[in-house]
Structure 1
């Protein structure tokens, strides 16, 4: 993977403006989402990504800020509502932290499930998505036989079963 993309490039790649529904059979957005609310949504998503852990406690309860805000945005909420909901939600969030060591292709499966390595996995996969795109990253790291069946990766004795 090449050097880290700039902050603007990362936001564009990782948090593009939501696209229109792919067909008329899909639910449509409600009126109200505009350029100001879209920029606020993207900014909040980027800050959430950069600052907070996916779990807000040791019981494994998830940070759902991104889900909550995208739904509100699609229902036409203005910037002020998005910011207020984010302010309320972020108070219980856990800081992202740093991993004890970086995650690389060589140790990719060594720390699966260890929450101390969250930031390392996030940085690794962020680079993969920026380099290959989301669809190719999902195919290689989640859906492929190499990510799910033992004996395929040299040196691996346990099957990480990424899809499961």
Structure 2
């Protein structure tokens, strides 16, 4: 196995939980390498982006495909921010999640974590970056809880 593949799997296991690396990155993934630094920038599988390795943090931002893989692998509510079903369409189109719309959340989520946004039926809506901790998302009545990166309909 390529050392780079091992490295990105270890990062994914650290960031999302044990087993995430294998689920996200099968043996036949394509690594997009930066021409200037020689480091992994994106990971694709069969031409579809799964995740991007952010140079500032050394962690991944997920695509919808990456979020789908993790959602299927990890049981409810791991990595999830659950929003009211009435706002599903807005979130799926890439709009940010406000604290007042959050009904449930994985209690281990901290601010700046990469999260999966689902509705009350556990349907994947989007992926994004938490701006608040799990406790704050459920307590606050105003403000952005999750900055959405990509919605399923965006």
TM-score by length of 2: 0.25
**Higher helix fraction (1 or 2):** 1
Instruction: Give 1 or 2 for the bigger CA radius of gyration.
Output: 1
**Higher strand fraction (1 or 2):** 2
